[in-house]
Amino acid sequence: MPTAKTIKPQFKQLKQSYGFDEVAIVPGDVTVNPEQINIELKIGEVKLDIPILASAMDAVTDVNFAILLSKLGGLAVLHLEGVQTRYENPADVLNELANTPNDKVTALMQKIYTAPIKDNLIAERVRAIKKAGALCAAAALPANTKHMAPIVAEAGGDVMVVQATTITARHISKSYRGLIFSEICKQVKIPFVVGSCASYSATMELMENGVSGILVGVGPGAACTTREVTGVGVPQITATIDCAAARDVYFKKTGRYVSIITDGGFKKGADLCKAIAAGADGAMFGSIFAQAKEAPGKGYHWGMSTPNPALPRGTRIKVGTKAPLKQLLFGPTSVTDGTENFIGALRTAMGFCGASDIAEFHNAEMVIAPSITTEGKFWQLTTGRA
C-alpha cells in the first residue's frame, strides 16, 4: 500500500485536445452517391441549402456578398458594428484600409472604428439585402444586442448573431445588467445564434436560454490573435465534439434541436469534412471567403477585435484574391490542395462514409492521426506539386 508520503497531490488534470490536422475520418462500410446527399442546415425555422455561413467581418461580408452567398444557398452575417453601419459609403473606407501599409493599419482601424454607429444604416443595410430576395443575418456584440436586435427584426432580418471572443449565458458585471438570452429570445422573434463557445457546459446553458445556434471556436481564425494574447482557446475538433455532445443531450431532454456551427480555423475541404463529422451542423468561413473576388476586403482580411482601442487581438493579413465565390464553394477547379470546391469535398467525404445527410455523418468514426497530412507525402512536401 502506498503511504501518504508517496501519493502526490494533483492540482489540475489536462486532457488531450485535437485540431483539424491531428484527426482523420474512417470510411464506412457502405458508400453513397454524393449527388444524392442532403447537406441542408436549419437555424430555427431558417433553412439553408448548404451548411455554410460567412463570418461577420468587414473584409468578408457586405450587402452584395450577403446577397450572393444567399443565392448560392448559404448565409452571410453582416457585422452591425463595422464600417457598413458607421459610414454612408463604406467602400471608400475599405479602399483606404486595403491601401494602408502594415505598420500603420491597426492605428488606422482604431480611428475608423471610433465613428458612431447609425441606427438608420443598420436598417438600411438589412432592407437592401432583403429587397434582393436574400436571407439576412446580422451580428452585434452582447452589450449592443438589446438595442440592435429589434432594429434588425423590424427591417426584416432572418437571423440575429450575438458574437464575442467568448460568450456565456451568465456575465458578471457591476456596471450594467448584462444581456439575458432567455429574455431577448422571447422579445425578438427571430432565431439567435451565439458564440463563441468551446465547452459542453457553456453550450448547454446557452441552449437552455433559448438560442437556436451555437458558434464554436475561440481564437482559431487566421486573422485572430486571441490565443497568442490571452492563451485562451480549445482546438476546433475537441471543441466541436464537446459542444455537439451538449446539443445531443439537450435534444434528447427537450426535443428542440440547436445547430452547432464550427467557426474558424478552416483552410481546406478536409477541415470542413472533419468539423461536420465531429458533430457540427455547419461551418462559418472567414479568411476563405476573404479570398473571393466578390469579398469587400480586396484581398485582405482582419478580425473585428483588431481595432480594439486598448488591446487589439487581431491583425490584418493578406490572403489574396483566389477565385469567384461560386468556384470556391462548388468548383469546378483544377486546384488540388482542397482550397476550392468545399461543397464537393463535403459531399464526397459523406459519400465515402455512407452518410445520406449531416445527422448520419455525425456517426462517422474518427481516429487520432497526427501523420494524416504527411504520411506518404514525401514528394509533395519536398518538391511541391508538379
**pLDDT tens sequence across 132-174:** 999 999 999 988 999 999 999 999 999 999 987 666 655 554 5
Does residue 154 lie within any of the structural domains? yes
Q: How confident is the model at residue 385 (pLDDT cuts 50, 70, 90)?
A: low
The C-alpha atoms of residue 277 and residue 279 are separated, in whole angstroms, by: 5
Q: How confident is the model at residue 3 (pLDDT cuts 50, 70, 90)?
A: low
Does residue 183 lie within any of the structural domains? yes
Average pLDDT of the residues in 333-353: 97
Q: Kindly provide the residue ranges of all beta strands, DSSP E only, lying in 11-61, ordered along the sequence.
A: 23-25, 41-43, 46-48, 52-54
The C-alpha atoms of residue 322 and residue 327 are separated, in whole angstroms, by: 9
Does residue 78 lie within any of the structural domains? yes
Average pLDDT of the residues in 229-257: 95
Q: Count the domains in the chain.
A: 1
Q: How confident is the model at residue 243 (pLDDT cuts 50, 70, 90)?
A: very high
Q: What pTM does this model have?
A: 0.92
Angle of the 236-254 helix axis to the 200-208 helix axis, nearest 10: 40
Helix, strand, or coil here: 300?
strand
- Tracing cell 470556391 back to the chain, one arrives at 328
Q: How confident is the model at residue 256 (pLDDT cuts 50, 70, 90)?
A: very high
The C-alpha atoms of residue 191 and residue 211 are separated, in whole angstroms, by: 7
Does residue 353 lie within any of the structural domains? no
Does residue 29 lie within any of the structural domains? no
Q: Give the angle subtended at the CA of 112 by the CAs of 106 and 116, to the nearest 5°.
A: 140
* pLDDT reported for residue 4: 56
Does residue 39 lie within any of the structural domains? no
The C-alpha atoms of residue 311 and residue 369 are separated, in whole angstroms, by: 36
Question: Containing domain of residue 312, as a range?
Answer: 48-322
Does residue 215 lie within any of the structural domains? yes
Check residue 38 and report its DSSP letter: B
Does residue 226 lie within any of the structural domains? yes
| Domain of residue 95, CATH code | 3.20.20.70
